[in-house]
Structure formats: structure tokens, C-alpha cells
């Protein structure tokens, strides 16, 4: 095999004496080992890894730690959480961008259904220029009034980084609950400290899922969440890392071989 280091083109002289085969091999080698192809492959791997890092790379100003995190399937939302089976409590951090800069975000659980009606919700919005969290018992789609929830909630707080709003809370859930129905939502505006209606686009209507509770404890170091359940980003990132480093090894090996 003869290779040109200047063009990364290799031509086989021992696999076949057929000129057409040699041309074919030269073309294939030129394609797969050319610098543009290698650079493109490298950046595809980089981008894939960065995309998988979304929830596991998020950090909180209050340095809270959570055992699990999940990239929620709509509204660019993320949930960090720790379930404590010893006292049936769920500590959460919900992150999402409001529909508009002065809008609101909300997260809740529905113990009796899968949609918004009947859910117990936490809604973060700005009040007098400060972030606050309010509790809402969503009796129906038409009646949305601030009220006490049917379960205990504590450590309520909210923060904003200018783009995303974040809700922090701990809630009491029924004993021995393995999973629950969660909802989340974002809205464009508020009036007199109350959330206005959200849009009814497909992304808004799809903002619900099942949350599998995992008994776990926060890690001892770091600012973001570590680990994840099978629907979150934690396991995906490990798989992507393996693929990334394998692909990078192939690229480096190809360059060295040339």
C-alpha cells in the first residue's frame, strides 16, 4: 500500500490488480481519511457529547445537590430530584425558560390523573421584581386560584439567571409510591401577581410524564445533579462518552497510521 502524507490518500497495490478496483480503493481511502472528513467526524462527536450534558452540567447558585436529573420532553425543561424513601419526601429543582421574559413557569404532581386538572402545582413568577413561588390547587382548567396544597411542601424558593427560572421545593408524597404523574408548564405573562393563560401549542399540551422515584441520596461534591434515572440524561451521557472516546481513538489511530 502506498500513501501520500500530503493528501492522506492511500492506494492499494496488493489487494487487487484490477485498475478499476485500485481506483475504487483510492477513492474510498481519500474519502474516509481526508482531513475534512476527520474534522467533521470529530465535531459530530463533540456536539453529541455536549448535547447529552444538558441536565447533568446545570448548576445552582444555592449549591443544592440532587441524586437524579432528567431532560423533560417538552418546553426546554429539566427536573433535578432526590426521593427520600425514609420519610416519603421528594426534593426537586425545576428549570425552564418562561414563554416571555416576564412570564412564569410551573411544575406539579397529579396523584389522581395525568393532566393539569386535579394537579397540585408550584408556580414561579416575579413579584415586585423578586422571584417568588406560589402554590396552586388546580381544581379544573378554568379555576386557577392560589391555595394550600393537599400535601406538605417546604423549602420553597425560586431564582432566575436572566433566561431560565428555577423552582426549588420539597414535597411530601404518599408512602411507598414508586412513580407519580408530573406536569410542567410555562406562560407568557402575569397579572396582579397571578399567572395568565399559557399557550396551547403541541409542546404545551405534551408537558406531562411519569416520574419514576428512585431512593437515593445527594452526592458529597459538585454543584449540579449527578446520576439519573433511566429516562434522564445521566445514563445517556455515559453511553455517549464511550462512543465519543472510541470514535476519537479511531480518528487518532487513523492519523497516526497515515
Q: What is the pLDDT of residues 87-120, one digit of tens each?
A: 999 999 999 999 999 999 999 999 998 888 889 9
Confidence of residue 10 (pLDDT cuts 50, 70, 90): very low
Which range is least confidently modeled, 36-45, 131-140, 148-157, 173-182? 36-45
Over range 246-257, report the average pLDDT: 56
Return the HEC string of the chain.
CEEECCCCEEECCCCCCCHHHHHHHHHHHHHHCCHHHHHHHHHHHHHHHHHHCCHHHCCCCCCCCCCEEEECCCCCCEEEEEEECCCCEEEEEEEECCCCCCCEEEEEEECCCCCCCCCEEEEEEEECCEEEEEEEECCCCCCCCECCCCCCEEEEEEEECCCCEEEEEEEECCCCCCEEEEEEEEECCEECCEECCCCCCHHHHCCEEEEECCECCCCCCCCCCCCCCCCCCHHHHHHHHHHHHHHHHHHHHHHHHC
CA 121 to chain centroid: 21
Tell me: pLDDT of 50 over 50.
no
Half-sphere exposure for 27 (CA within 13 Å, toward CB): 6
Q: How many CB atoms lie within 10 A of CB 33?
A: 19
CATH of 59-231, one of 2.60.40.1210, 1.10.10.10, 3.10.20.740, 1.20.58.340: 2.60.40.1210
Query: Of the candidates 84, 108, 106, which has an alpha carbon nearest to the alpha carbon of residue 213?
Result: 84
Least confident of 65-69, 85-89, 204-208, 249-253: 249-253
Look at the block and give the residue holding cell 462512543.
243
**Cell numbers for 101:** 421574559
Who wins on pLDDT, 122 or 8?
A: 122
Least confident of 47-51, 110-114, 125-129: 47-51
- Annotated domain spans of the chain: 2-53+237-257, 59-231
Taking the CA of residue 225 as centre, how many other CA atoms within 13 Å lie in the half-sphere pointing to its CB? 30
Give the chain's mean pLDDT: 76
CA angle (63 as vertex; 61, 66 as ends), nearest 5: 120
Q: Who has greater pLDDT, 95 or 9?
A: 95
- Enter the pTM of the model: 0.68
Distance CA 241, CA 246 (A): 8
| Cα 185 to Cα 82: distance, rounded to the nearest angstrom | 21
Amino acid at each position: 500500500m502506498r500513501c501520500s502524507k500530503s493528501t492522506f490518500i492511500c492506494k492499494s497495490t496488493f489487494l487487487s490488480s484490477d485498475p478499476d478496483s485500485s481506483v475504487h480503493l483510492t477513492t474510498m481511502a481519500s474519502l474516509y481519511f481526508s482531513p475534512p472528513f476527520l474534522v467533521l467526524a470529530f465535531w459530530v462527536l463533540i456536539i453529541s457529547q455536549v448535547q447529552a450534558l444538558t441536565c447533568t452540567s446545570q448548576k445552582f447558585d444555592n449549591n443544592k445537590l440532587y441524586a437524579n436529573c432528567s431532560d423533560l420532553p417538552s418546553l426546554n425543561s429539566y427536573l433535578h430530584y432526590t426521593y427520600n424513601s425514609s420519610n416519603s419526601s421528594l426534593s426537586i429543582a425545576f428549570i425552564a425558560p418562561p414563554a416571555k421574559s416576564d412570564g412564569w413557569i410551573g411544575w406539579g404532581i397529579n396523584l389522581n390523573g395525568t393532566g393539569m386538572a386535579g394537579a397540585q402545582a408550584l408556580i414561579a413568577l416575579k413579584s415586585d421584581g423578586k422571584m417568588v413561588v406560589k402554590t396552586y390547587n388546580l381544581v379544573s382548567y378554568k379555576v386557577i386560584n392560589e391555595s394550600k396544597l393537599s400535601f406538605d411542601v417546604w423549602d420553597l424558593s425560586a431564582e432566575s439567571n436572566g433566561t431560565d427560572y428555577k423552582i426549588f421545593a420539597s414535597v411530601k408524597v404518599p408512602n411507598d409510591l414508586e412513580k407519580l404523574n408530573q406536569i410542567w408548564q410555562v406562560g407568557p405573562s402575569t397579572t396582579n401577581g397571578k399567572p395568565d393563560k399559557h399557550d396551547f401549542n403541541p409542546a404545551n399540551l405534551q408537558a406531562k410524564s411519569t416520574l419514576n422515584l428512585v431512593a437515593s441520596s445527594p452526592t458529597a461534591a459538585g454543584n449540579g445533579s449527578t446520576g439519573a434515572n433511566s429516562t434522564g440524561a445521566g445514563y445517556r451521557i455515559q453511553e455517549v462518552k464511550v462512543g465519543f472516546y472510541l470514535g476519537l481513538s479511531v480518528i487518532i489511530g487513523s492519523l497516526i497510521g497515515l
